[in-house]
């Protein structure tokens, strides 16, 4: 007569420390504990920031315009 063999439960692999929470903590710490930069921001930098923000807003608006019918259809599908 053979005895049934008990299978030992495999231990769960340990996760390495990390993930989005860890990255957010590192980013927040690096922003809060920063030293002085002694940097000069010329007027062209402000112009570049304005261009990036304007371009991003217009790109999102155009994408919504192009796909508006599909977006409406997606949200109305659940109402039927």
- For residue 74, the model assigns a pLDDT of 86
Model pTM score:
0.45
Task: Name residues whose C-beta falls within 8 Å of residue 71's C-beta, 6 or more positions apart in sequence.
Answer: 64
How far, in Å, CA of 6 to CA of 10, rounded?
A: 12
Residue-wise pLDDT tens for the chain (80 aa)?
566 565 666 777 666 566 677 888 888 888 788 777 788 888 898 899 999 999 999 999 999 999 998 888 888 876 65
Give the residue carrying structure tokens 């922003």. 31
Q: Which three-class secondary structure state does DSSP give residue 11?
A: coil
- For residue 4, the model assigns a pLDDT of 58
């Amino acid at each position: 007569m053979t005895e049934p063999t008990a299978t030992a439960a495999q231990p769960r692999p340990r996760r390495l420390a990390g993930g989005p929470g860890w990255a957010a903590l590192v980013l927040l710490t690096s922003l809060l504990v920063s030293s002085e930069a002694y940097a000069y921001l010329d007027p062209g930098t402000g112009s570049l920031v304005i261009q990036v923000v304007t371009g991003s807003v217009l790109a999102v608006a155009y994408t919504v315009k192009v796909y508006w019918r599909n977006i409406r259809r997606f949200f109305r599908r659940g109402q039927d």
